[in-house]
């Protein structure tokens, strides 16, 4: 049983199946991954195979379908689906290095998340033994660096413009970029493997480390995936509190984006510092509500950890009204300032078709004029009750992405204030099981895919339970993974060295989110 439809295919029919599904409206490839079944597994006892899985989404009807390609464990091989969805590129590389699936016809099967010199051991296989790992640290950093290491510019971790441990190897002609290859994986913590080794309760802490700037949607989607398997209905009040917590986190993330990230790209320090200062107000609210400022562990299967604290409503109204009064000023300073506007206009332009094809989501997708927000598409509780409006722009460039985020901040403030006004009475947590026994909680066998809109885009968790207290497989679809691929795609189309920081900044990629 699963909350999506599964379509079986073989390596021979895969590309045709994919083509026909894309033609029937499943234009968005969420992820490509695999599930490893060793004989002693409890999901399908005795199965000895590896399933290559392709999760598809139909944006028009909000249907999910999954292509499942059963493969032999000893020599799994599938053809690439890059001719159908360009965004499959990195997902296939990931499946190649983490599961050892050979992708036929793939242009570049180098390691993406693991170290370049990692030997043929595959961490996400069920029989992986960490003692077998050997790493050749002298391996070249990228395909570009293999040919001409002297000419390659490393715009990566050492560079303040790279926004953290992510970056590119570049070939330049003056300031023009001839070729680019992304280098990510510096903060790859194998969250998916960790997820399989922790129980459902511990995984709350595990999951929210998926993105350090925006952890709340991660635990929100995790809780909803587990609830779906358990068949638990969350109390109405908990739904409102979850919305408040998630939107507060979105506010803090977008403020961080506008200030040090996008403002910092232009060394625009007033905006950078003022936005950081205003973010403090949001963090204070998060601290009052959840006890934490960066990681929260507030949302858990069945509801939220505790009810709204005394005085929170007044504090929220005060801080958010203040923030609301500051936003027009930021709009004036940031998005109407001629120098910034010149830098952002036309920066990293994406067409709607391109964006969907790559799997871009979140504000970057909505900036191309596509009105898809998972909060509305997937009917996340109480968003529609509060009259949630999707913010879109039509430019598809950096400026449009910024305006979308600014609009989302306004929308978030309104949502939180409305949710506080309409907060229903009742429990903040479903009375479903003994709290103290929660770590040993067993979850019924099943498969589920839960999605939400994180601050950066469409965040999904594909969860397979084998009836024990630990999940059998947790696949995280981090939105930044596909968004970063879009950055590489834009750079390859032709860009300039001086545009890279602003480009990475405007896509708002989070290294933790893309590496997992």
* Residues lying near other proteins in the complex (CB under 8 A): 153, 159-161, 174-175, 263-270, 272-274, 277, 337, 339-340, 342-343, 496-502
3-state secondary structure string across 107-169:
CCCCCCCCCCCECCCCCCCCCCCHHHCCECCCCCCCHHHHHCCCCEEEECCCCHHHCCCCEEE
Identify the H or E element spanning 498.
Answer: none
Contact 191, 476 (CB under 8 A): yes
Contacts of 131 (CB under 8 A, 6+ apart): none
- Terminal alpha carbon distance of the chain: 27
Minimal distance, residue 270 CB to other proteins, in Å: 6
Give the shortest CB-143-to-other proteins separation in angstroms. Answer: 19
Q: Is the dihedral of CA 479, 480, 484, 485 positive or negative?
A: negative
Residue 164: CB minimum distance to other proteins, A? 13
Q: Which is nearer to other proteins, 139 or 497 (CB)?
A: 497
Q: How far apart are CA 399 and CA 341, in angstroms?
A: 7
Nearer to other proteins, 1 or 267 (CB): 267
* 9 three-class SS: coil
The edge-to-edge listing of strands for the beta sheet with 176-183 is: 152-155, 167-173, 176-183
Cα-to-chain-centroid distance, residue 70: 26
* Cα dihedral 397, 403, 408, 414 in deg (nearest 10): -160
Shortest reach from residue 339's CB to other proteins, in Å: 5
3-state SS class at 477: strand
Q: Which is nearer to other proteins, 21 or 334 (CB)?
A: 334
For residues 372-403, b (16+ Cβ closer than 10 Å) or e, as one string? bbbbbbbebebbeebebbbbbbebbbbbbbbb
For other proteins, the closer CB: 128 or 496: 496
Contacts of 459 (CB under 8 A, 6+ apart): 217, 218, 221, 374, 451, 452, 453, 476, 477, 478, 479
Q: Closest approach of Cβ 403 to other proteins, in Å?
A: 17
Closer residue to other proteins, CB minimum distance, 303 or 395: 395
Closest separation in Å from C-beta 269 to other proteins: 5
Q: Which two tokens stand for residue 457?
A: 């885009």
State in angstroms the smallest separation of the CB of 334 from other proteins: 9
Q: Closer to other proteins at the Cβ: 301 or 395?
A: 395
Do 362 and 455 meet the contact criterion of CB atoms below 8 Å apart? yes
Tell me the C-alpha distance between 83 and 97, whole Å: 21
CB of 174 to other proteins, least distance (A): 8
Cβ–Cβ < 8 Å for 387, 461? no
Residue closer to other proteins (CB basis): 154 or 376: 154
Phi, psi of 503 (to 5 degrees): -70, -50
Residue 265 Cβ vs other proteins, minimum distance, rounded to whole Å: 5
CB of 492 to other proteins, least distance (A): 19
Toward other proteins, which CB reaches closer, 128 or 153?
Answer: 153
- CA 77 and chain centroid, separation: 27
């Amino acid at each position: 049983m699963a909350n999506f439809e599964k379509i079986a295919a073989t390596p021979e029919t895969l590309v045709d199946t994919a083509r026909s599904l894309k033609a029937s409206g499943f234009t968005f490839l969420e992820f490509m991954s695999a599930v490893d079944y060793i004989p002693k597994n409890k999901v399908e006892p005795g199965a000895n195979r590896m399933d290559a899985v392709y999760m598809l989404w139909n944006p028009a009807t909000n249907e999910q379908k999954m292509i499942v390609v059963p493969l032999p464990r000893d020599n799994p091989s599938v053809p690439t689906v890059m001719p159908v969805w360009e965004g499959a590129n990195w997902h296939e590389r990931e499946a190649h290095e983490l599961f050892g699936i050979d992708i036929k016809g793939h242009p570049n099967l180098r390691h993406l998340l693991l170290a370049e010199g990692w030997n043929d051991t595959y961490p996400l296989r069920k029989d992986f033994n960490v003692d077998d790992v050997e790493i050749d640290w002298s391996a070249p950093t990228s395909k570009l660096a293999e040919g001409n290491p002297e000419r390659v510019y490393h715009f990566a971790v050492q560079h303040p413009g790279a926004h953290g441990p992510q970056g590119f190897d570049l070939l330049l002609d003056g300031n023009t970029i001839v070729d680019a290859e992304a280098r990510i994986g510096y903060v790859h913590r194998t969250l998916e493997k960790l997820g399989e080794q922790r129980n459902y309760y511990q995984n709350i802490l595990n999951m929210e480390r998926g993105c350090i700037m925006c952890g709340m949607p991660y635990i929100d989607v995790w809780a909803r995936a587990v609830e779906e398997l358990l068949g638990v209905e969350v109390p109405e009040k908990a739904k409102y509190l979850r919305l408040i917590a998630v939107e507060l986190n979105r506010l803090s993330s977008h403020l961080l984006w506008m200030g040090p990230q996008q403002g910092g790209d232009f060394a625009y320090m007033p905006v950078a510092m003022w936005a950081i200062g205003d973010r403090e107000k949001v963090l204070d609210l998060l601290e009052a509500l959840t006890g934490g400022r960066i990681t929260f562990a507030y949302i858990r299967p069945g509801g939220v950890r505790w009810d709204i604290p005394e005085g929170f409503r007044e504090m929220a109204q005060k801080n958010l009204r203040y923030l609301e009064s500051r936003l027009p000023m930021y709009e004036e300073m940031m998005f109407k300032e001629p120098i910034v506007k010149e830098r952002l206009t036309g920066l990293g332009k994406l067409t709607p078709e391109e964006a969907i094809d790559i799997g871009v989501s979140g504000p970057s997708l909505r900036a191309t004029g596509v009105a898809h927000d998972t909060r509305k598409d997937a009917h996340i509780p109480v968003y529609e009750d509060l009259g949630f409006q999707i913010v879109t722009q039509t430019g598809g460039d950096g400026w449009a992405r910024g305006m979308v985020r600014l609009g989302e901040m306004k929308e978030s403030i309104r949502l939180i204030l409305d949710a506080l006004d309409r907060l229903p009475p009742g429990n903040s947590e479903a009375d479903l099981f003994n709290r103290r026994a929660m770590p040993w909680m067993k979850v019924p066998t099943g498969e589920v895919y839960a999605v939400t809109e994180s601050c950066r885009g469409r965040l999904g968790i594909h969860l397979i339970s084998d009836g024990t207290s630990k999940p059998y497989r947790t696949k995280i679809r981090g939105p930044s993974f596909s968004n970063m691929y879009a950055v590489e795609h834009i750079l390859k189309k032709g860009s300039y060295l001086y545009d890279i920081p602003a480009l990475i900044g405007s896509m708002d990629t989070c290294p933790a989110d893309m590496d997992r």
